[in-house]
Amino acid sequence: MTKLLLAMLAVISAAMPSHASAQAAGAPGAQAEQFTPEFQRVHTARDPKHTPRIEAPDSVRRGEWFKVTVTVGAESMHPSLQEHFVRYIALYKDSVEISRVYLHPVYSAPTVTFTIALDEGGALRALAEPTHSAAWEAMRKISVVP
């Protein structure tokens, strides 16, 4: 069904005049048909397939390297399909981005282990952005001792 739609789109777009430069898809505003409310804001409600799971120690020493594994989603692995996959997983400490991994549609599974060190305690945050919506966010407290 999806493939049929894509095939139809391909035929339609091949038939449409294209003056390139900045007009990716025919009539001005035509891209609006691609928007859905799912894309409008980061999702913080818990969803078993999309909310990232953060595995990390509860407490670490300041400046000590430790591992953080982030997996999408919290209860079952999000699929890796050409038409539906996790684009990237990013790890933050409060507002500060620490590491970000971009994934392949079919060769990557949405789980990654980073090695990081922290300056002060707070919230580890993971953002995972699938292709069909804005990012999903999870949080996990961590304390840092001297």
Residue list 38-77, contact with a copy of itself (CB under 8 A): 39-42, 49, 55-57, 61-67, 69, 71, 75-77
Is 97 an interacting residue with respect to a copy of itself (CB under 8 A)? yes
Give Cβ neighbours of residue 62 (< 8 Å, ≥ 6 apart).
Answer: 118, 119, 120, 144, 145, 146
Residue 80 beta carbon to a copy of itself: minimum distance, rounded to whole angstroms: 6
Q: 55 forms bridges with which residues in the sheet? A: 69
Q: Which of 88, 123, 139, 140 binds a copy of itself (CB under 8 A)?
A: 88
Residue the block writes with tokens 């891209």 = 31
**Mask for 15-34, x = binds a copy of itself (CB under 8 A):** -x-x-xxxxxx--xxxxxxx
Reading the block at residue 86, the tokens are: 């996790």
Q: Which of 50, 110, 125, 138 binds a copy of itself (CB under 8 A)?
A: 110
| Amino acid found at 16 | M
Is 139 an interacting residue with respect to a copy of itself (CB under 8 A)? no
Residue 93 beta carbon to a copy of itself: minimum distance, rounded to whole angstroms: 7
Is 7 an interacting residue with respect to a copy of itself (CB under 8 A)? no
Q: Is residue 140 within 8 Å of 123, Cβ to Cβ?
A: yes
